[in-house]
């Protein structure tokens, strides 16, 4: 985890893969191509960095979507 002077926290690609259950680099490549709402990385010197707050917002949106799609009790 990298924290900038402004307090922003960034995760590297391996840290993101670990956050989502030790996924492979191919999984990350696919999700970046096929999931338009997944946060895009910032690339610095060929390294990908993901803003932690963007990942959290994505996770919260997925939870809300899953909750909204859940069957309702009659």
pLDDT surpassing 90 at residue 33: yes
Q: Taking the model in full, what pTM does it have?
A: 0.80
Q: What is the pLDDT of residue 1?
A: 80
What is the percentage of the chain residues whose pLDDT exceeds 70?
91
Tell me the sheet residues that pair with 43: 48
Among residues of the chain, what percentage have pLDDT more than 90?
73
How many CB atoms within 10 Å of residue 42?
A: 12
The mean pLDDT value for 44-66 works out to 93
Between 29 and 70, the higher pLDDT residue: 29
Domain boundaries, the chain: 2-69
In the predicted model, is pLDDT for residue 9 greater than 80? yes
Distance linking the first and last C-alpha atoms of the chain: 46
């Amino acid at each position: 985890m990298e924290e900038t002077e402004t307090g922003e926290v960034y995760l590297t690609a391996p840290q993101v893969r670990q956050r989502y259950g030790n996924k492979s680099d191919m999984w990350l490549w696919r999700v970046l191509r096929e999931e338009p709402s997944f946060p895009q990385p910032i690339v610095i010197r060929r390294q990908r960095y993901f803003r932690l707050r963007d990942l959290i917002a994505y996770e919260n949106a997925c939870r809300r979507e899953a909750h909204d799609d859940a069957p309702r009790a009659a």
